[in-house]
Amino acid sequence: MAILSNINDKFAVETTGAIKFNSLPGTNNQILKSNGNASPTWVTITNAAAASNIIGGPYLELAGGTLAGASGTAANISFTVGGVLTGTTATFSGGIGVNGAPVPPSGTGARIYNNAASSYADFNGGSISSRNVSDDSYGYFYLNAENLQFQTNPGTVSMSVGSSSKTADLFVFGEVGIGTSSPAQKLHIKSTTSGPTGIIIENTNNAQSLDLDFWNNAGAVQGRIRYNEGAGSFSLSPNTSASSAMEIIYNGNVGIGTDNPTSRLHVNSTEVVLGTVITDYRDLGLQLSTTQETANSGTGISFDHGALGAAIASARVTNSTWGTDLRFYTHPDATTNQRNVTERMRIDSSGRTIINSGTFTVPAYDPSQGYPLHVQGIASQCLISIGKSGQTTGSQGMIIGLDGTTGYLWMRDALNITLGHDGGGSKLVIQPSGTTSIGATSSYSRLEVSGVIANTAANNDPVFTSGISGTGISTISGGTLSLMQGYVGSYGSGDTITFKYEATSWKSWQLEWSFSAAYGYAKGSCGGYNNNSTSAYYNTETNQGSNINISVAATNVGQHVIVTFSGALGIHLCMKLIYTQSGGDGAPRSDRASLTYNN
């Protein structure tokens, strides 16, 4: 076959199809390189080192190899493939742009351009970024050996998964919406279907604590809600360095200040010293409050018994004072108005207790009279029944009260009614038989008095008539002391008995006396007038028997009256004295009288 050649044998085509330049055929893995105005030469590109010898271009190896752009500042190459571009391995030493996109600014990676949407995506190392050219908005997806990050702008991390130490962590910088594209808080969960919407916290190990923690600005946990899976209880801790503030245990009991509530609501508070006055009531264990401060408005506690109730409430008494009260309410036996409760007892701001069985009316309060307890009865009757354990209050015990005509202190058992005092025991005793003793625990007469008896002038008796006819005279106060005294033994020579009354003002006075003893009896009287000076006293004496002979001498020291008995006083003497006076000193008093035996 003929050989195609050019002038001077610079170019020839062999019959085998081989091409020669300058009489040199190319060998395997060689390309023909243009050298400008000089003759072309054959260049071998079997490896990357040989390929680096290509300083011109661009060149495209038809079977395998590397597609490389020009070096230096020459423009990057581009090509269009009409169809599918396939191959096994491609290596780019610079950046690549697809669909008319320029090479990424870094000069490496790849960029895919969307002409219609004016947007592109960059693939560079471990990151994928997208940009909308029209509003210059960015989005980044970054992955390396430590974590996976999502960024809204370069350097602004929105979400991160993993870290150098905890590869399973998830960090979200911003708001997270589940079921919503516009979360209003850091985590916003929204459901549009019926049924519960919630969060599940699970630990597959037994008896573990499941916590929801709240951190402070120092980056440490401050508060905690904990579910104790073993005990089946909830703990609420506003301060994790202290004990749980509130506990809800498995049976539904709620504890405040205790982790083992034994009632539906169990409050354990700090101990408060309780005196006559609590300096701050807010230190106590439970407080119910209201902002309402007007009279007869307040707050309280209600008790429900299947829609039937009772209540305890407190209110401000008047708008002009700071006084408060405590009120107790119950529901009557009536089957109407089941939510209504009626006030039955009140402790008012002065400390009075008012008990009422009908329409509640607070009686007028006179501080000088006291009234610490007031009981308001039904209609015209008000009775209080007092019974001890085992007694039937309908027929036993005691009644205190009144009706329309009578006040009662009524014993329904065969027991004494006793008035007494810690300083001296029983003072007045009324026995079931009707006998009454004063100063003794029992009596055998209708009235028995232990000690001196005093009575005042007759005109003090409202049923006694005392009239005065004429002028220049009027009644004056006075009275009588009646007393007796016995002595055992025989008198001695020179023995005396002295009666003394220590008056403080003027008076007319008299003393009636009688003595009885073994083998004798004597009686008499004496009296006169005393106004702080010695005056004549008069007496009468009668002595009978062989063993008694009494003499009487009366005198005074200031306003005091002194009567002395002397002589033969007898054996086992029994004496009775009745002292009477009237005048400026008034009725005589036992505490001013004395009787002395001197031997």
- Based on the fold, state whether residues 79 and 110 are members of the same structural domain: no
Domain count, the chain: 6
Domain assignment present for 410:
no
Domain assignment present for 455:
no
- Based on the fold, state whether residues 118 and 61 are members of the same structural domain: no
| Residue 72 clears pLDDT 60, i.e. is over it | no
Taking Cα atoms as reference points, which of 526, 521, 522 lies closest to residue 579?
526
- Based on the fold, state whether residues 262 and 330 are members of the same structural domain: no
Per-residue pLDDT tens digits for 174-196: 889 999 989 999 899 999 999 99
pLDDT value at residue 594: 96
384 or 566, which is more confident? 566
Q: What is the average pLDDT value for the chain, to the nearest integer?
A: 80
Domain assignment present for 384:
no
Per-residue pLDDT tens digits for 495-528: 999 999 999 999 999 999 999 999 899 999 999 9
pLDDT value at residue 535: 66
- Based on the fold, state whether residues 228 and 321 are members of the same structural domain: no
135 or 208, which is more confident? 208
Residues ≥6 apart with Cβ < 8 Å to 104: 95, 97, 110, 111, 122, 124
- Based on the fold, state whether residues 37 and 142 are members of the same structural domain: no
- Based on the fold, state whether residues 161 and 87 are members of the same structural domain: no
Domain assignment of residue 261, given as a range? 209-267
| Residue 61 clears pLDDT 50, i.e. is over it | no
Taking Cα atoms as reference points, which of 318, 343, 314, 341 lies closest to residue 326?
314
Domain assignment present for 18:
yes
- Based on the fold, state whether residues 539 and 504 are members of the same structural domain: yes
- Based on the fold, state whether residues 497 and 558 are members of the same structural domain: yes
pLDDT value at residue 154: 63
Domain assignment present for 200:
no
Q: Read off the pLDDT band of 135 (50, 70, 90).
A: low
Task: Indicate the range of 39-48, 58-67, 473-482 predicted with least confidence.
Answer: 58-67
72 or 177, which is more confident? 177
Domain assignment present for 407:
no
Q: Name the burial class of residue 237, with classes exposed (0-12), middle (13-18) and buried (19+) by CB atoms within 10 angstroms of its CB.
A: buried
Record the tokens describing residue 502, joined without a space: 């220590």
pLDDT value at residue 99: 59
pLDDT value at residue 497: 96
Last residue of a domain, one of 93, 116, 139: 93
Domain assignment present for 394:
no
Contact 148, 160 (CB under 8 A): yes
- Based on the fold, state whether residues 514 and 593 are members of the same structural domain: yes
Last residue of a domain, one of 378, 405, 436: 378
Q: What mean pLDDT comes out for the span 323-330? A: 90
pLDDT value at residue 83: 47
Q: How many CA atoms lie within 13 A of 567 on its CB side?
A: 15
Q: Read off the pLDDT band of 43 (50, 70, 90).
A: confident
- Based on the fold, state whether residues 501 and 585 are members of the same structural domain: yes
- Based on the fold, state whether residues 583 and 501 are members of the same structural domain: yes
Q: Read off the pLDDT band of 21 (50, 70, 90).
A: confident
- Based on the fold, state whether residues 87 and 151 are members of the same structural domain: no
346 membership: H or E segment, kind and range: strand 342-347
Task: Indicate the range of 298-307, 353-362, 474-483, 525-534 predicted with least confidence.
Answer: 353-362
Q: What mean pLDDT comes out for the span 396-414? A: 86
Rounded Cα–Cα distance for residues 557 and 498 (Å): 14
Domain assignment present for 466:
no
